[in-house]
A and B are shown apart, each in its own frame.
Chain A
């Protein structure tokens, strides 16, 4: 069965570092930064396990600010 490969794009400046995407992701793809902050001072969410993402969009669905755009492509 072909695997789905996903990718998330986080709007870093819109992110408030609430962490709900981190909790929602079943595959630990996302984490809040520890060393960087955005213009508003939030530790924003970033992809840490890129290759694991299947594009389920759980992160984007729970994000209260609509920061995350999700893509998905079938692996050939």
Chain B
């Protein structure tokens, strides 16, 4: 069998989802953002919700998410996406509404908006890309930066006396009455990617069923600012991030 015989439409196994358009994404080579963008695109398409989705992008590397996933988007001020999403969902209850935020956006400047939107049980999903660093602005310390981790604003390692402790936002979210589904996922290999996709689908379904707020944390890498290759970054994440931010469902009240 020749390669040409295999490469036929009827033999297609996997291709980039259509909702993820052809605009080249600006993310660094190996960045977790791209994988999550793919998953969101697939889930929205599979749910048949492309015409009824309103998404909110953050300030951070994913500020331009609206250029890549072909749904209606609103660009939020830094940290405020959950406030926008709260209003949008209350005004348009039959739409799929989600935010896409990094750790600086969600857990630092936006902590108030994050906790209150989740606590009010807004029927939205917050997708939380946690790579323990500020990517877009050049690798500064984030509220989720691990103790001992070196960044450009804690070049000698995060020291609790100087910088306090890392925040476990998913744990905080799980403790709130208003949250329905809180989970931590990752996207560094095929198995974890398939799990993450199921988690995103579940969260979106719950939000459409009016079951409350949902937080899908994706423990991720930032290979550029961690100063590693994409593959090494994945391994570092498995060894260092997963013990502190363990994967799995922290809460699932939607069943």
Pairwise interchain contact B25-A70, C-beta atoms closer than 8 A? no
Residue of B whose beta carbon sits closest to that of A60? B14
Question: B3 within 8 Å of A by Cβ?
Answer: yes
Taking a contact as CB atoms closer than 8 A, the residue among B8, B14, B35, B190 that contacts A64 in the complex is: B35
Given A6-B6, A23-B231, A72-B6, A55 contacting B34 (CB threshold 8 A):
no
- Stretch binding the partner chain, chosen from B16-24, B57-65, B133-141, B239-247: B16-24
Task: Give chain B residues whose Cβ lies under 8 Å from the Cβ of A72.
Answer: 6, 11, 13
Distance from B14 Cβ to chain A, minimum over Cβ atoms (Å): 4
Pairwise interchain contact A73-B190, C-beta atoms closer than 8 A? no
Chain B stretch 96-136: residues in CB contact (< 8 A) with chain A: none
Pairwise interchain contact B11-A71, C-beta atoms closer than 8 A? yes
Given A62-B189, A66-B16, A66-B17, A18 contacting B7 (CB threshold 8 A):
no
Distance from A47 Cβ to chain B, minimum over Cβ atoms (Å): 8
Which residues in B have some Cβ–Cβ distance to A below 8 Å?
1, 3, 5-8, 11-17, 20, 24-25, 27-35, 38, 187-190, 193-194, 229-231, 234
Pairwise interchain contact B13-A55, C-beta atoms closer than 8 A? yes
Pairwise interchain contact A69-B190, C-beta atoms closer than 8 A? no
Distance from B231 Cβ to chain A, minimum over Cβ atoms (Å): 5
Q: How far is the CA of A60 from the CA of B29 in the complex (A)?
A: 15
Task: Give chain A residues whose Cβ lies under 8 Å from the Cβ of B14.
Answer: 57, 60-61, 68-70
Residue of B whose beta carbon sits closest to that of A47? B3
Chain A interface residue number, banded: 20 to 34
Pairwise interchain contact B6-A5, C-beta atoms closer than 8 A? yes
Q: How far is the CA of A71 from the CA of B229 in the complex (A)?
A: 29
Task: Give chain A residues whose Cβ lies under 8 Å from the Cβ of B11.
Answer: 71-73
Taking a contact as CB atoms closer than 8 A, the residue among A7, A19, A60 that contacts B15 in the complex is: A60
Pairwise interchain contact A20-B231, C-beta atoms closer than 8 A? yes
- Given known contacts A19-B29, A73-B6, what 13 new A-B pairs fall within 8 Å (CB)? A6-B13, A17-B29, A19-B229, A19-B230, A20-B234, A55-B6, A60-B13, A62-B188, A67-B16, A70-B13, A71-B6, A71-B11, A75-B1
Q: How far is the CA of A55 from the CA of B80 in the complex (A)?
A: 43
- Of A13, A42, A69, most buried by chain B (CB within 10 Å of CB) is A69
Taking a contact as CB atoms closer than 8 A, the residue among A23, A42, A57, A66 that contacts B34 in the complex is: A66
